[in-house]
């Protein structure tokens, strides 16, 4: 990515529409809602054009650690809503910099809030390879400590917003850095990244279905390309938390 009940009910719905993997390529995904995610790299986005090209949802990077806020967040987040695109905010985790609770609080204060208006996706946690130190892809943390950090972030987001965060990750990172922890699958929707593939492949440990699939880093929409695993109506319900 550019630098207990609600989720359980949704998971059942998604499994019914084929949550394990897509048949064929993303381009043949039929009526699955298309979306994307953006950060400061995309700068000010032409949201009307994105909507005309098929964008139905978008995640916007809000924050990183406890000292960075996307300078284009206002235009991106507000502009998407004005164009009729369901939008949400995500936080890029740097677990070696501060606690999960501290980063969650900073995120929510700086764009990661949620409301049950049908236009706001649940807050999302982007946790993946360390972009600043490739020798420490798990941020120098053991598996149990990493699981604890994610749980702390999630608990604080839930306390502040009423929703558990969506978790964005890759199967390789998750299995390597959390030991394939199954502690989050029952209450957290999965946003999985896997490129150059007709399907998502094996999912991170604990999940049997995905909610959002990031299938490419570029395409017809600004930023990374995504699909939602359900109908347009289910996307709206997911945003609303029903």
Give residue 76's Cα distance to chain centre. Answer: 16
Tokens 């929707």 belong to 189
The single residue of 37, 64, 126, 224 carrying the catalytic annotation is: 37
DSSP at 33 = P
Backbone angles phi, psi at 192, to 5 degrees: -105, 140
Active site residue 128: yes
110 CB-near residues (< 8 Å, 6+ apart): 62, 63, 69, 73
Tokens 């284009």 belong to 72
Contact status, residue 104 vs residue 157, Cβ threshold 8 Å:
yes
Contact status, residue 138 vs residue 101, Cβ threshold 8 Å:
no
Active site residue 126: no
For the chain, the residue count is 242
Buried b (16+ CB within 10 A) or exposed e, 105-127: bbbbebbbbbeeeebbbbbbbbb
Alpha-carbon distance values, 135 to 97, 131, 132, 148 (Å)? 16, 10, 9, 22
The single residue of 46, 64, 117, 128 carrying the catalytic annotation is: 128
Catalytic residues: 37, 128
């Amino acid at each position: 990515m550019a630098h207990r009940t609600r989720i359980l009910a949704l998971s059942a719905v998604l499994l019914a529409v084929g949550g394990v993997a897509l048949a064929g390529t993303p381009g043949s995904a039929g009526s699955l809602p298309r979306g994307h995610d953006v950060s400061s790299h995309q700068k000010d986005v032409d949201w009307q054009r994105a909507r005309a090209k098929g964008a139905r949802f978008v995640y916007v990077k809000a924050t990183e650690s406890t000292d960075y806020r996307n300078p284009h967040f206002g235009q991106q987040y507000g502009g998407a809503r004005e164009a009729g695109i369901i939008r949400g905010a995500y936080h890029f985790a740097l677990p070696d910099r501060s606690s999960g609770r501290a980063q969650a609080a900073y995120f929510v204060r700086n764009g990661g809030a949620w409301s049950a208006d049908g236009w706001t996706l649940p807050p999302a946690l982007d946790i993946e390879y360390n972009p600043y130190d490739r020798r420490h892809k798990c941020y120098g943390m053991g598996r149990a400590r990493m699981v604890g950090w994610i749980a702390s972030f999630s608990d604080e987001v839930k306390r502040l917003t009423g929703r558990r965060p969506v978790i964005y990750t890759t199967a390789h990172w998750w299995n390597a850095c959390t030991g394939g922890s199954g502690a989050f699958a029952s209450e957290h929707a999965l946003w999985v990244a896997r490129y150059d593939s007709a399907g998502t492949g094996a999912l991170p440990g604990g999940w049997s279905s995905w909610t959002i699939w990031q299938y490419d880093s570029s395409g017809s929409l600004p930023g990374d390309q995504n699909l939602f695993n359900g109908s347009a109506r289910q996307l709206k319900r997911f945003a609303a938390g029903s």
